[in-house]
Chains A and B, each alone.
Chain A
Amino acid sequence: MTEFSINISQMAWPCVLALAWLLGDILNRVLHLPRISVYALTGFVLVNLFPDYLSPLDNHSLVLLANIAFGLMLFEFAYRINLRWLSLNPWVAVTGLLEAGATFAAVYCVALWYGSTQLMSLSLAALAMSSSPAAVLRVINEQRSSGQVSERILHLTAINSVLAVFAFKLILVYGVMQAPGDLLKASAQSLQVMLVACASVLAGTVFGIVLPTILRWRGRQAQDSTLGFAFAVIVLVALTHATGLSPILATLSFGLVARHRRISLGRTQRNFGVLGELLAVVLFVFAASTLAFSQVLAGVMLGGLLLVMRLGSKIIVTTLLAPVSGISMRKGMLSGLGLAPVSVFLILNLEQPNKLGMAMTNEWYALVAMTLILEIAGPILTHLALFAAKETPEEMEQ
């Protein structure tokens, strides 16, 4: 006689993902909340309620799926970045540099004032500079928005993220150098970081040149481009995992090169169609599920303070520089507000926090708290910014 039994832990994650999608859909219709905010909230609440069944870090399939989802979003994000614009309108680049710099300075000062060490304060400041490419792209695509606020949110997010990664890496090296007698180790680590970064960029560049060539050679790029690019991103993510390269740098380079050196021109379907929709649920549920309730609670005070400083500095700079960069101050202010989403998922993929001795400290808790708040509230603020700028479709504005 065959014995019938159910392994609840094997069922748990698919059910959570399905529930997150369903709740996202319902709350989007009823309250117009961005779906990704609901995904994040669902992931955070359920994983913290049932930690025995839903341990995300043990689930390798989930990690791989989340990485593929992240890769697809980073590729699409980079594909929409026009580097030439930054030279044609240098005020956009200046705005990005200044608002990231202002955020860094504001958060650094507040963290020092709160009693953090210099190294911790620098690290928090670097992480706070970043905006989340995945979240802003997702909200812009979900709202089908178009206009200057949408364009500037995308490009400022790109500048912020690059600066944040660059600054964080420098601080890592600086941290290692501070330790007595570790100059050689620091130099070796810097060299390794440089080599990995270069190799990752090279891998993405090769994909960005080869894939359009193949699509053009096949003569059906208009029909096949979405699927072709999706498969290429999946292969690239797998390749970087297998070789220890950075999937983030590789997929970003792939997207940038595909846009700027494209031989064929094909309309890549936004969000990669149904595949992208599905993987977005996985990504945002997973990202929030890595955050623990106790950590959030412990860091909520400092986290809230840092959040206000971060958003305030971004909004002030984008508002003041708006007229010289060709838009109204109102749209400048809304561009700053739209940069609210932050995600340490990107940073966590680059470096484990305990390399800096950050884990289990007040500052780390603050970062966790700030991340959770902005995982949920960030997309809502971006949504509000796009809506207030009248860049969403007519039916939504009515």
Chain B
Amino acid sequence: MPLGEFMHSDALSMGVELELQLVNLSDFDLTAASPDLLHLLAKRPFPGNVTPEITQSMIEICTDVQTRYTGVLGQLTEIRDTLVRAADILNIGICGGGTHPFQKWTDRKIFSKPRFAEVSALYGYLAKQFTIFGQHVHIGCTSGDDAMFLLHALNRYVPHFIALSASSPYVQGGDTLFNSARLNSVYAFPLSGRAPFLLSWDEFANSYFSKMEKTGVVKSMKDFYWDIRPKPEYGTIELRVCDTPLNVERAAALAAYLQVLCSYLLERREAAPEEDDYLVYNYNRFQACRFGFDGVTVHPKTYESSILREDILATLNRLKPHAETLDAQAALTHLSEVARTGNDAQYLRQQYQESGSPEGMVHSAIHMFRDRRRRTRWVAM
């Protein structure tokens, strides 16, 4: 089936999707609770949308289309409160974090849905290993060409989002030494990584996608696991490199950062994106995943190296006028603070040190998700 028309969205409108962990409160392992939770949530109005994810230990929530940071934050907070209330009724914990620190992928159960059955049949054990949790941010574009431009112009900023959202330091019970180990799991999929360098929507849809479809490898855009991909049916581009942060405030701030950044890039003051930008893409991406804010980033045009923290702070500073226009100053202030003090991966490692166990990390993550202003207390939930 040919790729449909690129639907037109309001420029810089945005939407957020968060994949969340469902945790057993006795042993803090993941639990197959999504059928029960979705059954309960279906009985009452939900502020946004909630859907199953590939394994029964995950759910995905998404906001409506928003135009401002406060709108995203407000709706995510409402969603969070609704989820926490439902989880309390069912005696389960809900939390963010890019990976669960010690779950065994062999224990996971695929959610009963045709799409997930297909993915499981095709990818085998990779489907269960895909029990990782990300934040996806959609930014509305007025045309397919704008979408392709933004998709590639963002390549140099992808490490920013990785480092700011990183919250997956542990996998299968061990410290990976990465800030974001989640993206390594995505890399196992054959259609992951970066999108092909095409700046025209017509060329992308009628040449590249049609050829790929003829090969039988893909049937829809869902089969691509790219870091950023166009979403023609929504009229958006979708950034997919972020780990799910530990709280919704961080998630809203990241969405606002992307919105402000796209607003800046659409002015086209920076040099136009080109294929050679991707020479340093994988290296920069690795540095952000591995070292977080301390990683080294190489500028794709000048080849100058800098520390990612400094690059992020400089960029946030540069975007202030755009943030004022879009009412997103609070979001950028929040992220500046994160870049100075540390991301969620560092927080989780600190929790491991304090509690002495990976269960302690999950325990704090659950408290953090409920409301970060509440003090983490070592009591049962």
Q: Do A and B bind each other?
A: yes
A interface residues (Cβ-Cβ under 8 A, vs B): 79-80, 82-85, 88-89, 144, 146-148, 151, 155, 216, 219-222, 225, 259-268, 270, 325-328, 331, 390-391, 393-394
Residue of B nearest to A222 (CB): B357
A residues near B295, Cβ cutoff 8 Å: none
* Contact of A328 with B27 at beta-carbon distance under 8 Å, contacts A89-B88, A147-B33, A263-B378 already known: no
A216 adjacent to B91 (CB under 8 Å): no
Residue of B nearest to A262 (CB): B378
A79 to B28, CA, bound (A): 12
A265 adjacent to B88 (CB under 8 Å): no
Sort chain B's interface into a size bin: 20 to 34
A270 to B24, CA, bound (A): 14
* Contact of A265 with B109 at beta-carbon distance under 8 Å, contacts A148-B36, A326-B40 already known: no
Can you show 5 pairs from A to B with CB atoms below 8 A apart? A82-B25, A85-B88, A146-B33, A147-B33, A259-B380
A residues near B35, Cβ cutoff 8 Å: 147, 390
B27 adjacent to A268 (CB under 8 Å): yes
A88 adjacent to B88 (CB under 8 Å): yes
B74 to chain A, nearest CB (A): 25
Q: Is B71 an interface residue when CB atoms closer than 8 A count as contact?
A: no
How many pairs, one residue from A and one from B, have CB atoms within 8 Å of each other in the complex?
Answer: 95
* Contact of A264 with B24 at beta-carbon distance under 8 Å, contacts A82-B381, A328-B39, A391-B32 already known: no
- Centre residue among B27, B29, B360, B381 by max chain A CB count within 10 A: B27
B53 to chain A, nearest CB (A): 16
A261 adjacent to B379 (CB under 8 Å): yes
Q: Is B189 an interface residue when CB atoms closer than 8 A count as contact?
A: no
B residues near A259, Cβ cutoff 8 Å: 26, 380
* Contact of A82 with B32 at beta-carbon distance under 8 Å, contacts A220-B356, A265-B360 already known: no
A219 to chain B, nearest CB (A): 6
B27 adjacent to A221 (CB under 8 Å): no
B360 adjacent to A144 (CB under 8 Å): no
Partner of B357, one of A83, A144, A155, A264: A264
Known: A146-B33, A262-B380, A265-B357. 11 other contacts (CB 8 A): A85-B25, A144-B107, A222-B359, A225-B357, A260-B380, A264-B355, A266-B357, A266-B359, A326-B40, A326-B86, A393-B107
B25 adjacent to A265 (CB under 8 Å): no
User: What per-residue 1/0 map shows which CB atoms of B348-379 lie under 8 Å from chain A?
Assistant: 00000001111110010000000000000011
Q: Is B313 an interface residue when CB atoms closer than 8 A count as contact?
A: no
A393 to chain B, nearest CB (A): 7
A88 adjacent to B33 (CB under 8 Å): no
B residues near A80, Cβ cutoff 8 Å: 26
* Contact of A216 with B107 at beta-carbon distance under 8 Å, contacts A80-B26, A265-B363 already known: no
A262 to B355, CA, bound (A): 11
B residues near A222, Cβ cutoff 8 Å: 356-359
B residues near A84, Cβ cutoff 8 Å: 380-381
A residues near B88, Cβ cutoff 8 Å: 85, 88-89
A267 to B29, CA, bound (A): 9
A263 to B379, CA, bound (A): 8
Residue of A nearest to B356 (CB): A221
A residues near B31, Cβ cutoff 8 Å: 146-147
Partner of B28, one of A83, A146, A267: A267
